[in-house]
Amino acid sequence: MLIRRPPDISPSEITPRSAYLRRRDVLAGGLGLAALAMLPTKKAEAAPLAATKSPYSTDEPATRREDATTYNNFYEFGTDKGDPAANAHMLKTSPWSVKIDGLVAKPATYTLEDILKPVTLEERIYRLRCVEGWSMVIPWIGFPLADLLKRVEPLGAARYVAFETLVRPEEMPAQRGLFQPLPWPYLEGLRLDEAMHPLAILATGMYGETLPNQNGAPLRLVVPWKYGFKSIKSIVRISLVEKQPPTTWQSSQESEYGFYSNVNPEVDHPRWSQATERRIGEGSGLFAKRRPTLMFNGYGEHVAQLYSGMDLRANY
């Protein structure tokens, strides 16, 4: 038998934590509780990912991993913050492929391994600001979205990038319920120059390990200067297009969520202010400390020039 060292093992062969936990259940059934008690109690998290440090990282302290993996928005698994952590183990993330099509010279359907082979993974510690008024600091592991887009060679007519999450009702409970919180598939989009910006990454990991399903495994977008909902999870399709593509939140509530969705403390959501935010882990309820929300979530020195001359009230 061929014994392979870790660098030869492809990401899809690494046992996800959910599969590990299911295996524990099987073991518990077969061996009885006494035997289970003797199994190592240390949780086998997904394998560590090697990543280089990035100058784009914030030096703010990271949110506790426990909070970032149990307080989530991933409506395919339910609308409560705890639903994704409770249900996302049902999602089968391997094998995984992403179709890249539209206005490109080299359309392709890449497996996750194809996508990761040529890239250098970096750790990017970014603030994530949800439109609901809370924020986190998450050490992502990923690579620039631009690296993947360049591989398929966008044509001159391409002006926008459309992203799609999978539709798999057997594995995503909110896609089969009577109450469907959103239309599926979940859709997002960026202007091509936003997508090519070095701050926009595709993440495959966080906290030094492969992404937990509830955070968007195996591949999710992270656009740190925009409200969290732009950072679409579990991506299966990326299309380069000429016209501004529809996005899920815009089509479900046009007056509340625009295409740009840049973090902007000066433009209120119609039902609440966007001037401040609560950092998850810094108290709750009446005692929650509120921080001022920063323009472009604090990334203005890098991205403000993308919007020079634009009215950011009209293009919210």
Ligand X SMILES: Nc1nc2c(c(=O)[nH]1)N[C@H]1C(S)=C(S)[C@@H](COP(=O)(O)O)O[C@H]1N2
If you search the block for the tokens 């600001």, which residue do you land on?
Answer: 129
The least CB distance from residue 66 to ligand X, in Å, is 13
Contact 297, 225 (CB under 8 A): yes
Is residue 84 within the footprint of Mo ion (CB under 5 A)?
no
Q: Report CA torsion sign: 133, 136, 137, 140.
A: negative
Q: What single-letter DSSP state applies at residue 119?
A: P
Instruction: Report the run of H or E that residue 194 belongs to, with start and end.
Output: helix 192-195
Contact 111, 97 (CB under 8 A): yes
- 298: helix, strand or coil: helix
**Closer residue to ligand X (CB): 103 or 190:** 190
The least CB distance from residue 123 to ligand X, in Å, is 16
The site map against Mo ion for 133-172 (x = CB under 5 A) is ----------------------------------------
Cα–Cα distance for residue pair 191/189, rounded to 1 Å: 7
If you search the block for the tokens 């061996």, which residue do you land on?
Answer: 31
Is residue 259 within the footprint of Mo ion (CB under 5 A)?
no
The least CB distance from residue 135 to Mo ion, in Å, is 10
Is residue 224 within the footprint of Mo ion (CB under 5 A)?
no
**Closer residue to ligand X (CB): 207 or 229:** 229
The least CB distance from residue 187 to ligand X, in Å, is 9
The least CB distance from residue 140 to ligand X, in Å, is 9
**Phi, psi values for residue 192, rounded to 5°:** -60, -40
| The 160-165 sheet, strands edge to edge | 108-111, 97-102, 235-241, 160-165, 187-191
**Closer residue to Mo ion (CB): 145 or 232:** 232
**Closer residue to ligand X (CB): 18 or 73:** 73
**Closer residue to ligand X (CB): 103 or 262:** 262
Instruction: Report the run of H or E that residue 101 belongs to, with start and end.
Output: strand 97-102
The least CB distance from residue 234 to ligand X, in Å, is 6
Type of residue at 41: T
Is residue 130 within the footprint of Mo ion (CB under 5 A)?
yes
Binding site for ligand X (CB under 6 A): 72-76, 128, 130, 165, 186, 215-216, 228-229, 231-234
**Closer residue to ligand X (CB): 65 or 151:** 65
The least CB distance from residue 228 to Mo ion, in Å, is 4
Is residue 257 within the footprint of Mo ion (CB under 5 A)?
no
181 dihedral zone (left: phi>0; alpha: psi -120 to 50; beta): alpha
Residues in the chain: 316
Number of residues that bind Mo ion (CB under 5 A): 4
Is residue 229 within the footprint of Mo ion (CB under 5 A)?
yes
Binding site for Mo ion (CB under 5 A): 73, 130, 228-229
